[in-house]
Amino acid sequence: MSTPDERAFRADLERAPFLLGLAEGRWDLISVKGTIAVISVTAKDGLAYELRFDVTGYPQSPPTARLWNSAANAPLAVDKWPRSERAGRLGAVFRQDWKGGTALYLPCDREALAGHDNWLTQMPSKIWRPAVGIVHYLEQVHELFHCADYAAPIAA
């Protein structure tokens, strides 16, 4: 039997905004097991980066995500992480030095938002919005992978 957060998450995966992102090749659903989901997001160079989401408490509680390698069922090796070309925002989000790389440093991430009350006024458009759901998080990651700061990983 599934939990309310799992049912809510699965319902969002059936909504038009998520399906449109699938159809446009912006992201792809790899797997969902309970409140853990793996979704890949495509970068401007065609590389797809997998994110392992924990959607416990969804949608009222924001998800948290980390770079993932589903083939190895393990975190993505650091040399395969996207790089910051200009020491910009991408490098600030994909940080190995923050929480050991276990979460993205994004205002829509549960782990990052904790303790950053200033983000509520400084970056209100990037704060988790339950009504928008997982697409809100995916769109922010997709935007980063298509910005001028993005560079392919050291080991492609």
Would you mind telling me the total number of residues written for the chain in this entry? 156
Identify whether 108 is a catalytic site residue.
yes
What's the DSSP call for residue 41?
Answer: E
* CA–CA distance, 123 with 151 (Å, rounded to integer): 24
What's the DSSP call for residue 79?
Answer: G
Give rounded-to-5 percent helix, strand, coil for the chain: 35, 20, 45
Of the residues 38, 43, 90, 108, only one is catalytic, namely 108
Which tokens go with 69? 């390698």
* CA–CA distance, 48 with 51 (Å, rounded to integer): 10
| Residue among 109, 102, 138 at smallest CA distance from 123 | 109
Which tokens go with 4? 């309310």
* CA–CA distance, 7 with 71 (Å, rounded to integer): 26
Active-site residues: which are they?
Answer: 108
